């Protein structure tokens, strides 16, 4: 029992930075994992990845002006995400280019611009902080920001749940019976950007989408019901957060990548062993016929 306590409990009971990291990661799991489910059902998982890179120039601008301050970098990230989303949408509607191609162009330009801006003033350590996050260095201001995004996200999901599910499963039906279709779409994109900005505080711009998409993709191998999928995604996110922080602590690994790697382990296990995974779908089905 003492060994189990030292391995699982002591890191969180003895160190305040581990407690803040755990709280931040758990709040992100509650908020980002349900958004990831809807991203996956809309076939927009790569859009989330592109948007996570798109916030980098805004965060870099906040860094150049105020240093590693949460509020300026958050506001900059939100503005940059909004500009990229609106710009890519405008290009796809006003030209012959499809939305996925225009979004790819915008996010690649944003990523290169953000890295260049940080390199002008910051060190390689600052660049690594922005790209990969520092979940073990979360302060009270970052926790408050993540908590506010979590509350706002859960409230919006509760309020627009039926519309969000309907738009994922049958968007034409939603548009025919309600005027909420376009409104819900933009609200959802706003929630995606908000959660990416919140995740950026802990996991950086390159990994913030990982906690959003991987648990959702994992849950897809276990159920077809949206409600159950959301619950499973949150559970996988919470377990991955705890497991990743413990792995980081005991193996001296970077905390953000350790959380995403833990989530990746659940994903590959589910690919093989999930109720809708490879082994289950390849299993021969016996049918009994009455002669």
Range of the domain at 43: 2-269
What pLDDT band is residue 185 in, cutting at 50, 70 and 90?
confident
CATH of the domain at 235: 1.10.3470.10
Q: Residue 285 falls within a domain, yes or no? A: no
Q: Residue 117 falls within a domain, yes or no? A: yes
Question: Residue 65: what pLDDT?
Answer: 83
**At CB < 8 A and 24+ separation, what contacts does 277-283 make?**
277/221
What's phi and psi for 3, nearest 5 deg?
Answer: -65, -45
Q: Residue 288 falls within a domain, yes or no? A: no
Nearest Cα neighbor of 237 from 203, 268, 213 is: 213
Burial of 181 (0-12, 13-18, 19+ CB in 10 A): middle
252 — alpha (psi -120 to 50), left (phi > 0) or beta? left
What pLDDT band is residue 121 in, cutting at 50, 70 and 90?
confident
pLDDT in tens, 125-138: 666 777 777 788 88
Question: Residue 253: what pLDDT?
Answer: 87
Q: Residue 204 falls within a domain, yes or no? A: yes
pLDDT in tens, 190-208: 899 889 888 887 887 778 8
Q: Residue 173 falls within a domain, yes or no? A: yes
């Amino acid at each position: 029992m003492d060994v189990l306590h030292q391995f699982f409990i002591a890191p969180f009971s003895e160190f305040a930075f581990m407690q803040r990291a755990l709280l931040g990661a758990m709040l992100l799991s509650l908020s980002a994992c349900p958004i990831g489910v809807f991203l996956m059902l809309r076939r927009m998982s790569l859009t989330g990845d592109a948007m996570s890179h798109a916030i980098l120039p805004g965060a870099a601008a906040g860094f150049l002006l105020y240093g590693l301050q949460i509020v300026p970098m958050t506001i900059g990230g939100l503005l940059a995400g909004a500009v990229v989303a609106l710009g890519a949408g405008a290009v796809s509607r006003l030209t012959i280019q499809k939305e996925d191609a225009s979004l790819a162009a915008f996010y690649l330009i944003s990523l290169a611009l953000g890295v260049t801006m940080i390199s002008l003033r910051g060190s390689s350590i600052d660049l690594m902080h922005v790209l990969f996050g520092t979940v073990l260095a979360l302060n009270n201001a970052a926790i408050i920001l993540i908590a506010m995004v979590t509350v706002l996200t859960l409230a919006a999901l509760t309020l627009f749940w039926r519309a969000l599910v309907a738009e994922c499963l049958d968007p034409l039906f939603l548009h025919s019976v309600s005027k909420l279709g376009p409104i819900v779409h933009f609200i959802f994109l706003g929630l995606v950007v908000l959660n990416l900005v919140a995740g950026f505080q802990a996991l950086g711009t390159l990994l913030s989408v990982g906690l959003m998409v991987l648990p959702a993709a994992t849950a897809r191998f276990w159920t077809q019901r949206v409600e159950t999928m959301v619950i499973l995604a949150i559970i996988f996110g919470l377990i991955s957060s705890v497991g990743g922080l413990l792995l980081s602590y005991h193996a001296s690994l970077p905390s953000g990548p350790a959380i995403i790697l833990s989530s990746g382990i659940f994903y590959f296990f589910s690919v093989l062993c999930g109720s809708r995974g490879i082994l289950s779908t390849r299993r021969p089905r016996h049918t009994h016929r009455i002669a």
